[in-house]
């Protein structure tokens, strides 16, 4: 498995694969890998000759008061997981931005509402870094989890609008046995908070069979002990919700 630290050297490796006619699947991540990420990698492994995982905690998608500095970075464990999953190359750059970086990719419609209410600059950071990662890895296909439903919607729109020659492959949410969607941020939860957090997947599951799922879920989550409601929103056929458990923000969604 190759470990690559610059966009330029990633391009050179991907170009050499493409010249041989090999297809490339990219799985963009921020690391602290879990079974959700590995499910994306496994799908990419089945569908492509070469698999690249990028591990990069992208500063431009974090707000000033968010967890950028304390975001977990267990690099050696992540590399071992990638090796075990048969990844060909891991792109883990120290930085992707020149000091005087001044070019942004901004999607302005799908990036409104839902997570953008509390994270107004988040998706501009996501679209910008994802296009940069595409330009580095030159993938045929890129894999994104439906856990971040709005992210899938925004990236799909960006790729369509800008004629980016990459197929976006959405992957279903991977959950723990108790129902909580796997997330790198779950490790911030205390035992007590984790129990409280389970109301999110449970109420979401109940909500989708109600007559007015959005209103029902909003009310139910507002009453759930230990949770502070961020939003409930029906978008693109999915009921999406975000809550705070203590200072940890969790998101989840279900098809309706
Ligand atoms: P992250 O490292 O949190 O930026 O996530 C990297 C990719 O993994 C994103 O496309 C996420 O949507 C996806 N992902 C994270 N958690 C899950 C999960 N529980 N199920 C499916 N995909 C996930």
pLDDT in tens, 190-241: 999 999 999 999 999 999 999 999 999 999 999 999 999 999 999 999 999 9
Mean pLDDT of the 170-182 span: 98
Q: Please list every protein residue whose CB sits less than 6 Å from any atom of ligand 1.
A: 29-30, 36-37, 40, 144-145, 147-148, 171, 173-174, 181-184
The vertex-8 CA angle with 7 and 12, nearest 5°, equals 115
CB atoms within 10 A of CB 223: 11
**20 Cα to the center of ligand 1, angstroms:** 30
CB atoms within 10 A of CB 39: 19
Question: Pairing between strand 238-245 and 248-255?
Answer: antiparallel
Mean pLDDT of the 122-140 span: 98
Pocket test for ligand 1, best of 41, 148, 149, 204 (most atoms within 8 A of CB): 148
Rounded Cα gap, residues 134 and 199, in angstroms? 37
Rounded Cα gap, residues 176 and 124, in angstroms? 30
Name the residues annotated as catalytic: 37
Residue pLDDT, tens place only, 68-108: 999 999 999 999 999 999 999 999 999 999 999 999 999 99
* Position 187 confidence tier, pLDDT thresholds 50, 70, 90: very high
Rounded Cα gap, residues 56 and 121, in angstroms? 18
* Position 7 confidence tier, pLDDT thresholds 50, 70, 90: very high
Residue pLDDT, tens place only, 17-64: 999 999 999 999 999 999 999 999 999 999 999 999 999 999 999 999
Is 193 exposed, middle or buried, given 0-12, 13-18 or 19+ CB atoms closer than 10 A? middle
The per-residue pLDDT for 98 is: 97
Asked if residue 82 lies in contact with residue 1, where contact means CB atoms within 8 angstroms, the answer is yes
The per-residue pLDDT for 111 is: 98
């Amino acid at each position: 498995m190759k470990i690559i630290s610059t966009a330029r050297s990633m391009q050179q490796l991907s170009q050499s694969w493409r010249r041989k006619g090999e297809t490339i699947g990219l799985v963009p991540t921020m690391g602290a890998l879990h079974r959700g990420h590995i499910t994306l990698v496994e799908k990419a492994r089945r569908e492509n000759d070469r698999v690249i995982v990028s591990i990069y905690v992208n500063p431009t998608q974090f707000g000033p008061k968010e967890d950028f500095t304390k975001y977990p970075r267990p690099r050696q464990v992540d590399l071992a997981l990638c090796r075990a999953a048969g990844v060909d190359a891991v792109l883990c750059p120290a930085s992707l931005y020149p000091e005087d970086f001044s070019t942004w990719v901004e999607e302005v419609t799908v990036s409104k509402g839902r997570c953008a209410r509390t994270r107004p600059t988040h998706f501009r950071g996501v679209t910008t870094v994802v296009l940069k990662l595409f330009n580095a890895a030159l993938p045929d296909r890129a894999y994104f989890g439906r856990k971040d439903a709005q992210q899938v919607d925004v990236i799909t729109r960006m790729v369509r609008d800008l004629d980016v020659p990459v197929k976006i492959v959405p992957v279903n949410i991977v959950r723990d046995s108790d129902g909580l969607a796997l997330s790198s941020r779950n490790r911030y939860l205390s035992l007590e908070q984790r129990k409280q957090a389970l109301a999110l997947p449970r109420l979401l599951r109940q909500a989708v069979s109600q007559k007015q799922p959005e209103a029902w879920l909003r009310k139910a989550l507002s009453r759930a002990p230990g949770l502070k409601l961020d939003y409930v929103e029906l978008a693109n056929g999915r009921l999406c919700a975000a809550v705070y458990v203590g200072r940890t923000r969790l998101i989840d969604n279900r098809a309706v």
